[in-house]
Structure 1
Amino acid sequence: MTENEQGRTLDAGALKALAHPLRVRIYDILSERGAQTASTLAKLIGETSGATSYHLRALAAQDLIREVPDRGTSRERWWERPKGRINLPGPDQALTPAGRAAAQIVTSEFFALRHQSLMEYLNRPVSETPEGWADAGLVTTTMLDLTPVQMEEMKDELTRVVDEAVARYAGQEGAPGTRRVTMRAEIFDLPTSGASKEES
């Protein structure tokens, strides 16, 4: 299994570089929209190209993004996010207090952007929805009662579905009729109120 298939777990240096709201936003835009320049990013996020250029260099220094080969000029460089998933270290992994704080910033910013994009999708007027896309999406929530083993089985099954979709549709970027879509798979246990069933 390659590193791209396994995903890259961000180390302390990468976490520190990414732990800034604008850098998370830039990283997210490169994931969603593909390669950008400092100037195009500046227009998208309402910053100066000098600011976006500074943040791009900080991300590139940790190999979070890379310059697009054979594109652009010495004055206008194009940047892209390498393919593959990234993994944030969990709260139980060996991190310094500064590393834990950086991981929390990155996680909070990523999920704030995810929620923002979901709400924009839910509130998008029909007039702004391209033909054929109105009923193509799915937003669903259900509740299940599972054991930890069953939930882990569901997690593995959902991961397989996502990985198979990534492999099946790889290389379609920019193909006629395609649009960038976001695919979410979430499964987690909810907090209990009062004593759990095991304790009763």
Structure 2
Amino acid sequence: MTERPTIRVQDPEALAALAHPLRGRLLSLLRADGPATASGLAERVGESSGVTSYHLRKLAEVGFVEEETDRGTKRERWWRAAHTATSWSPSDFLGDPEAHKASVSVRREWYRWQQRLLDQWMAEERDWEPEWVDVAASSDDMVVLTPAEAEALGTELWDTVQRFRERSVAAGRQAGVDGAERVVVLFHTVPIRGEWPL
């Protein structure tokens, strides 16, 4: 399986930079849609280009984005994501209250984004073909696992998603062509104690 360029965050400062909600959105847009200018991103997120420029520079300072120096001008700089994925271990920051707070903030923003994505699907579902409506899936289950088994489960799920991603890339598949569309896969593995929060 091909390794995706991933930034492994171990610096609390980098994590704190990513905790800002707008920075997370900018990074996601650059990863999903490719290079863009601050003004182009500003239109998409409903901010001024000055605001998006500031936050892009902050992301660049900690290595999440980089300038595309071979295109654009001094007035209109192009930016790209430096990596296709971000990873970190939340347990690395348990001993540092501020860093742990940033870790929670980043994850909370990702969960909010996932909820917005699901809400958007519900709003648009009636406009999609029946075969897409039928395959859009949400499910849950509860299993009793050890930490090692939970890690193995997450790895296996991730590897399956990456296998399908690689097939799509190898086939040169494009959204909107030959019945293909972009599909977002969300999954969580979280332990719980006590009552199942319903």
TM-score range, shorter chain: 0.7 to 0.9
Q: Report the Cα offset of residue 158 of structure 1.
A: 0.6
The alignment partner of 1:111 has SS state of helix
Alignment root-mean-square deviation, CA: 3.0
Per-residue CA distance 1:42-64 (angstroms, 9 max, x = gap): 11111110110011111011110
Q: Report the Cα offset of residue 175 of structure 1.
A: 7.0
Residue identity matched to 2:164: A
- Pairing 1:78-117 to 2, within 5 Å after superposition: 78-91=78-91, 93=93, 95-117=95-117
Give yes or no for the alignment of 1:14 onto 2:32.
no
Change (3 A) 1:14 1:179: farther
CA contact (8 A) 2:6 2:83 kept: no
The TM-score with structure 2 as length reference comes to 0.79
CA contact (8 A) 1:10 1:86 kept: no
Q: Separation in 2 of the partners of 1:160 and 1:125?
A: 28
Structure richer in helix, relative to its length: 2
Residue identity matched to 1:26: L
Q: Separation in 1 of the partners of 2:134 and 2:70?
A: 36
CA contact (8 A) 1:15 1:99 kept: yes
The TM-score with structure 1 as length reference comes to 0.78
Structure 2 gaps of 5+ residues are none
Report the count of equivalent residues.
192
Tell which deviates more after alignment, 36-45 or 9-18: 9-18
Change (3 A) 1:9 1:51: same
Structure 1 gaps of 5+ residues are 195-200
- Pairing 1:154-169 to 2, within 5 Å after superposition: 154-169=153-168
Change (3 A) 1:107 1:96: same
Q: Separation in 2 of the partners of 1:38 and 1:74?
A: 12
Q: Report the Cα offset of residue 16 of structure 1.
A: 2.1
Residue in structure 2 matched with residue 138 of structure 1 by the alignment = 136
Per-residue CA distance 1:3-35 (angstroms, 9 max, x = gap): 746652342221122221211121122233322
Tell which deviates more after alignment, 51-60 or 110-119: 110-119
Residue in structure 2 matched with residue 63 of structure 1 by the alignment = 63
Identity of aligned residues (%): 31
The alignment partner of 2:70 has SS state of strand
The alignment partner of 1:66 has SS state of strand
Change (3 A) 1:72 1:174: farther
Change (3 A) 1:98 1:151: closer
